[in-house]
Amino acid sequence: MQTTSFGQKIFAGSMWTVLMRWMSRLLGIISMIILARILVPEDYGLVAQAVLLSSFLELMTQFGFFTALLRDKDANSDDYHTAFTLSLIRGLVLAVVVAASAGLVADFFDEPRLTDLVLVYAVVTFLNGTVNVGIVDFQKEFRFNEDFKLNITSRFSGFLVTLMIAVIYESYWAFPLGTLVATLVKVFCSYHMVSFKPRIALKNFYHIFNFSKWFFLFEAFNAASNKVDTFLIGKFGSPAELGIYTVSKEVAGLPTTELAMPVARASLPVLARHVDDLPEFGNLYTSVLISVLVLALPAVAGISVLSEHLVLLLLGPRWSEAATLLPILAFIAVTKVSVACAIPALAALGRASLLSRYSVTMLIVKSLLMGAGIMYYGVIGLAWGALAAGILGVLMIHFIQRKLGILSLGRLFAGLWRSILATATMAAVVASVKVNYPADGTQANMVITPLLVMLGCSVYMVSLMLLWVLAKRPDGFERNAFNLMKNMVK
């Protein structure tokens, strides 16, 4: 009964976070539809090169200060002040490094326009370090609606600025300036919405850093492995190829970024409360992974089946090459789901050292497979190499989880077989219907594509619920979704 109660908390928190991510993504999709018709792939490639260093360093130096507070049920104000101070110092140091490297980045890519762009992202990096650490309590106390307001407000502000600059000036500067405004708004709101006011202090440095040091190693190598593809295409490909790959990866990654990450985000504070009860922890974690995959599997299948239609609808004919990459990158997204869920689980257990070893191994595997792929077969070869690396990563992370006793593959399959059948049914129906409506870029196609998406969603949901009823309505994702809809109707 207790597992069900906490499972519902994770589900409710996930729904708030999913709503936040979907609204944020909706703004991104609207922006993408408009900007892809104003700007060219080279513009996207240029910005991807400019943000490469700052994003890489930010990811690489994620010490997990906020995560340390989330997993610690007894964290006090001194812990919060220390986490804020460390975050501030990190932001300042990174900003100085990025700004000092602006000229080097421009020389490396042989693109003088990058210098000023990199300097703007250096400012963004510093501002990220000034965000009020008190917003951690939004997750810790299950106040995900407040988290929703904070992130949507900043995202919408950046969306407006990006759109206005792009429409008026038709310039790639829309991206960095939009990001700068969004970050400023987030910093302001983090102090306006939270009563806690951090101050400079390092009283509990060793307490925070004892956990964070392992998380730092994980994030450092994980950041490097996540940027291998961008680095390789940026160095051995053209800006246009990098732009097409970057946008394709963003679209294909929707199941991971908009479905898996919200559930993972909502699960950490709940899992942290059960670290002393491993069987209960394992039951909760398996339920989380099932919920994520039930959402991600149909999304990935839909993107793969409708890749050409989606590219024409969202990006336009100039981006037609993205249709070839989308199916491969979509399946990579499924491999990322298991890792996205494993991170908060292992963090809650205090096993960040295992994550560190995993990220080192994945950096080596990705570098070898993607490097060989791009050298022999170009960008498409790199994508296949990334998929092969992702599959190996899933096998490794599941092995770790089974050794720790937190994942039962039998229970995982018992909770997923209905979703797998429903996904196969959806893919078959949509594939058979789309044959009559080829992706030709006509206005009629702009109407057909959303209808095909709606058809796929409807077929999946109906198939899933029918299979659930036939299986005598077991506990799981379907029951949580059914109870949520019933409560909304009431």
Looking at the 3D structure of the chain, how many domains does it have? 1
CB of 139 closer than 8 Å to CB of 194: no
CA atoms within 13 A on the CB side of 217: 16
- 257 in a domain, yes or no? yes
> What is the pLDDT, as a whole number, of residue 167?
84
Any idea what DSSP says for residue 198?
A: -
> How far is 435 from 264, CA to CA, in rounded Å?
37
Residue 488 belongs to a domain: no
Conformational region of residue 75, where left means phi above 0, alpha means psi within -120 to 50, and beta covers everything else: beta
DSSP state string for 89-155:
HHHHHHHHHHHHTHHHHHHHHT-TTHHHHHHHHHHHHHHHTTS-GGGHHHHHTT-HHHHHHHHHHHH
CB-CB contact of 150 with 186 (8 Å): yes
Percentage helix, strand, coil for the chain under 3-state DSSP, each rounded to 5: 85, 0, 15
- Both tokens of residue 322? 């993205």
Whether residue 136 is contained in a domain is answered as yes
Distance of CA 268 to the CA centre of its chain: 16
User: What does the alpha-carbon distance between residue 239 and residue 46 come to, in Å, rounded to a whole number?
Assistant: 6
pLDDT of residue 3: 47
Q: Are 100 and 61 in contact (CB under 8 A)?
A: no
pLDDT of residue 420: 95
Instruction: Give me the pLDDT at residue 185, please.
Output: 94
Q: Name the residue type at position 259.
A: L
CA distances from 208 to 91, 348, 467 (A): 17, 14, 47
Provide the residue-wise pLDDT of the chain in tens; the chain has 490 residues: 444 444 455 555 555 555 555 666 566 666 666 676 777 677 777 887 888 888 877 766 666 666 667 666 667 788 888 888 988 998 999 999 999 999 999 998 888 889 999 999 999 999 999 999 888 877 776 676 777 788 888 888 988 898 888 888 878 888 889 999 999 999 999 998 888 888 888 877 776 666 666 667 777 787 788 888 988 998 888 878 888 898 888 888 776 666 666 666 666 666 767 777 788 888 888 888 888 888 889 988 999 999 998 888 877 787 888 889 999 999 898 888 878 788 778 877 777 778 888 888 999 999 999 999 999 999 999 999 999 999 999 999 989 888 888 888 888 898 899 999 999 999 999 999 998 888 776 665 778 888 999 999 999 999 999 999 999 888 877 887 777 666 655 5
Domain assignment present for residue 153? The answer is yes
Question: Domain for residue 407, yes or no?
Answer: yes
- The two most distant CA atoms of the chain are separated, in Å, by 67
What value, to the nearest 5°, has the Cα angle with vertex 101 and ends 112 and 373? 75
Distance separating alpha carbons of residues 434 and 439, to the nearest angstrom: 9
CA dist 309 and 436 (Å) reads 13
Do 98 and 54 touch, CB atoms closer than 8 A? yes
Residue whose pair of structure tokens reads 């310039």 in the numeric block: 171
- The confidence score (pLDDT) of residue 196 equals 86
Q: Which domain holds residue 217?
A: 2-482
CA distances from 249 to 226, 246, 325, 346, 422 (A): 12, 5, 8, 27, 25
3-state secondary structure 402-467: HHHCCCCHHHHHHHHHHHHHHHHHHHHHHHHHHCCCCCCCCHHHHHHHHHHHHHHHHHHHHHHHHH
- Rg of the chain on CA atoms, in Å: 22
Measure the CA–CA gap between 432 and 420, rounded to whole angstroms. 18
Dihedral sign (CA 36, 38, 39, 41): positive
Distance CA 165, CA 182 (A): 14
Q: At what angle do helices 205-226 and 352-404 cross, to 10 degrees?
A: 80
Tell whether 426 is covered by a domain.
Answer: yes
The DSSP 8-state label assigned to residue 193 in this structure reads S
Residue 288's pLDDT is: 81
Residue 408: Cβ within 10 Å count: 16
Six-digit token string for 250: 């963003």
Q: Is residue 490 part of a domain?
A: no
Residue 261 lies in a domain: yes
Backbone angles phi, psi at 136, to 5 degrees: -60, -35
